Amino acid sequence: MIRTYSELQKLITFEERYNYLRLKGEVGKSTFGYDRYLNQTLYRSRRWRRVRDEVIIRDEACDLGIYDFIIVDKIIIHHMNPISKKDIELNSNDIFNPNYLICVSERTHLAIHYSDEALLQQKPIIRRPNDTVFW
């Protein structure tokens, strides 16, 4: 299944978007191992920094692009579809395609990769006058 931002946008709630992206049991799948330098080179490239900025602006620095979920610390640009060593070596355009990228918080990124909903950010409770009884 190829995940896209255009499909993700059709999902209204944070929970629906999370469920669309979570990896469902792919934890522990081998990633880059000794070739980790490749993805570090990618993330330092001018092309990546340009597309990263574009995605942050598009998503307004909000977790999963949901307006009420502003990311207040580190913003991670998540590849909706896992990338491989070969993708990086071939400089695949899919790596840089904003339709395959989304802003996430660090906690949401971990929740997606580890399928652990307990890590997800909770929406703040909106307080209203007289909503608390002291006794």
- 125: in domain: no
Hey, which bits of the chain come out as E strands? 75-79, 101-105
Residue 90 belongs to domain spanning: 5-119
Residue 131 domain flag: no
Mean pLDDT of 37-60: 92
Helix axes 14-21, 106-114, angle to 10 degrees: 50
Return the C-alpha torsion angle 63, 66, 67, 72, nearest 10: -10
Inter-residue contact 82 to 95 (CB < 8 Å): no
- 126 located within any domain: no
| Inside any domain, residue 98 | yes
What per-residue confidence (pLDDT) applies to 48? Answer: 94
Is 88 inside a domain boundary? yes
- Please check the confidence at residue 57 and state whether its pLDDT lies above 80: yes
**Chain segment 6-27, per-residue pLDDT in tens:** 999 999 999 999 999 988 755 4
* 134 part of a folded domain: no
Do the domain assignments include residue 37? yes
* Among the listed residues 121, 124, 115, the one whose alpha carbon sits nearest the alpha carbon of residue 64: 121
In a domain, residue 101? The reply is yes
- Give the mean model confidence (pLDDT) for residues 22-45: 70
At 72-130, the pLDDT tens digits run: 899 999 999 988 888 888 888 999 999 999 999 999 999 998 877 777 766 666 777 87
Q: How many domains does the chain have?
A: 1
Region 36-47: what's the mean pLDDT?
85
